[in-house]
Amino acid sequence: FEPGEHLAYRIRFGPIEAATATVGVHDAGLWRGRPTWEIRAEGRTGRGFDWIFKVRDAYRSYYDPALQAPVRFVRDVHEGGYEIHQDYHFDWERSCVETEWHRVRGRGEAFAVEPGTQDMVSAFFTARNWDLTGLAIGDTLTVPCLVDGELFPLTIRYGGRDEVEVTEGTWQVDAFHPVILAGRVWERPDDLTVYVSADANRIPVLVRTRVWVGSVELELTSVEGLRNPPSRQF
């Protein structure tokens, strides 16, 4: 991936088109003398769904493409009556991260992280660079991730090759199941599936999940600025 990429998605809650989301990559100039990209992900509910549960979320990962790791992560979440702001600064020379976390009262922390630790957004983009040669169904991949101020090993299990049809076309995809904790939001460990294009871009094309209160689907609706020719068919 590279600056200029822009992906748009439609989010359905059951049969209802509830929200939209966009993900874009931008040139952010220099960070401490190094070229940096901004990966910006935003989501919002539509007017018809705002009265049920209004969402205005924005995530920004400032990414060092040479290190394939973030240097800063900013999260602004407004979901119903819940609001949170997080600002993480990664110092890879000292292998540590400094965090600022504001909800009712501000709080800050600093702690050590292992090389290659990702934030919630950069984890998915870094995974697009993985070598999947020889990957078999059931194999797992793990990336260290910083989530809500805690280090969390994000583990993904490979589910095999498939084909999906979305508004943007028909795609050959690889299915992945992020390893999740059943019994809270999800009933079964395989209740979340991410379908990634089976080409050199490896963009998320479709996400399907079953939760206790129904089903949620995120579907690709438009794509611009891909580095490689896409594998879709119309």
Spacing of C-alpha 142 from chain mean position: 15
Give the angle 209-212-218 at the CA atoms, nearest 5°: 25
Mean pLDDT over residues 161-189, rounded? 76
pLDDT, one tens digit per residue, over 22-54 is 999 999 999 888 999 999 999 998 988 888 888
Asked if 97 contacts 91 with a C-beta cutoff of 8 angstroms, the reply is yes
Of 1-5, 28-32, 103-107, 166-170, give the lowest mean pLDDT range: 103-107
Q: Which of 201, 211, 215, 219 is nearest to 164 (CA)?
A: 219
CA distances from 15 to 11, 140, 206 (A): 10, 32, 16
Read off the tokens for 119: 């934030």
Give the whole-angstrom CA distance, residue 123 versus residue 135: 19
Residue 234 is predicted with a pLDDT of 53
The pTM for the full model equals 0.86
- First and final CA of the chain: distance in angstroms? 23
pLDDT, one tens digit per residue, over 73-109 is 999 989 888 888 989 999 998 888 888 866 545 566 7
**Between β-strands 96-102 and 6-13, what pairing exists: parallel, antiparallel or unpaired?**
unpaired
Kindly indicate the confidence band of residue 136, based on its pLDDT and cuts at 50, 70 and 90.
very high
Give the whole-angstrom CA distance, residue 164 versus residue 174: 10
Residue 17 is predicted with a pLDDT of 86
